[in-house]
Amino acid sequence: MYALRSALRAPARVSPRAFTTTAARWKDAWANTPDMNFAEFNKLARAPTDDVLLIDTREPDEAAMSPISGTVNLPFSKVASALAEGNNPGQFQNDFAFSKPAYNQKMVFLDRAAKRSEAAAEAARKAGYQNVRTYGGGVKEYQENADKHKE
């Protein structure tokens, strides 16, 4: 009986992990999973949101030949300078026709085959962006799979 009373009076020990939020777990999962699969990317491309920016790193003429819905174009050759800290947001808007991303913006880079998208993601991280992923399958894989998964 004594043990039961003292157990009832003792403060409960709660793990700090019990207070983590779903948003914090989502952010960690986002940052710790650099390569996005087709299903994730397809969902975002078909129903774009303000939460995630899909960035096509192909040159404008390449992107125009086979556009991917829901994406904006930021050519690989300009990623590092465009996302640099000193780059004027107004100039960015004029040059690329979309707003310069905030440093906490979730971004997914894609390319024809993934080499440029991986390098672009690394350049974004070096510029201070942390919520960066790539779609490693590239445009070709996306288009092949998107045709198979049309709803």
Distance CA 12, CA 109 (A): 46
d(CA 110, CA 70) in angstroms, rounded, equals 12
pLDDT in tens, 88-137: 999 999 999 999 999 999 999 999 988 899 999 999 999 999 999 999 88
Residue pLDDT, tens place only, 36-70:
999 999 999 999 999 999 999 999 999 999 899 99
Can you name the CATH fold of 21-148?
Oxidized Rhodanese; domain 1 (3.40.250)
The contacts of residue 9 (CB under 8 Å, 6+ apart) are none
